[in-house]
Amino acid sequence: MIGFDAIILAGGRGSRLGGLRKPELALDGRRLLDRALTAAAGARRLVVVGDAEVPDGVPRTREDPPYGGPVAALAAGMAFLPEHAPWTLVLASDLPAVEAAVATLLAVEPDGDGCCLVDAGGRLQWLLGYYRTDALVARLADRGDPPLTAMYRLLEPLRLRGVAVEPELTADVDTPSDADRWGIALPHPPQQP
């Protein structure tokens, strides 16, 4: 696929991890956020949305309100990027296998409004997808009042191709047991919410 921008969502409170910031967790010495940045390296432009620390030269913005959820973060990312590319790659920053996942995703011929990977339960992974940018812009402009906050409500009207993959490609790190399965050492025991 050519001509895409990337928006990496790196906000959230990490509540199921007791407040630990998921993008900062490291697997084999590399932060999950850095893995997402590498996965999106083919983008014409990219932006990280959230409060995660970013490397020098990587633009970052925040959703409004802070911790407003993934739809607000996507809107902030779209507003930050000027002169949009035809396609937009949208990634979470808590995906240990994000590099292999994105390579698989981008190998799929785009059609309709985009493509998402499908998890082991048969669900589209909205934060592992690429979308026709004009379709995203239209959906974000039509969020309603109060605005939608759930990604599935925003994106389910789109014509999307789902791509079933090995379960590890869509696995994220939401809980201490997820981290343990991947061999991710938590910096301190999670606090109880």
Q: Angle 98-106/32-39 helices, nearest 10 degrees? A: 20
Query: What pLDDT sits at residue 43?
Result: 97
The band of 13, judged by pLDDT with boundaries at 50, 70 and 90, is confident
* Model confidence, pTM: 0.93
Prior bond of 86 cis (ω within 30°): no
Positive or negative torsion for Cα 53, 75, 18, 33: negative
pLDDT surpasses 90 at 34: yes
pLDDT at residue 111 greater than cutoff 90: no
Confidence band for 189, pLDDT divided at 50, 70 and 90: low
What pLDDT sits at residue 2?
67
The per-residue pLDDT for range 62-104, each reduced to its tens digit, is 998 888 899 999 999 999 998 899 999 999 999 999 999 999 9
| Structural domains in the chain plus CATH codes | 4-170 (3.90.550.10)
Note the helical H segments in 58-166. Answer: 70-80, 98-106, 133-141, 151-155
Among the ranges given (1-15, 40-54, 146-160), the one the predictor scored with the smallest mean pLDDT = 1-15
- Is pLDDT of 177 > 80? yes
Q: How far apart are CA 101 and CA 124, in angstroms?
A: 13
Q: Mean pLDDT over residues 119-130, rounded? A: 96
Mean of the per-residue pLDDT values for the chain? 91
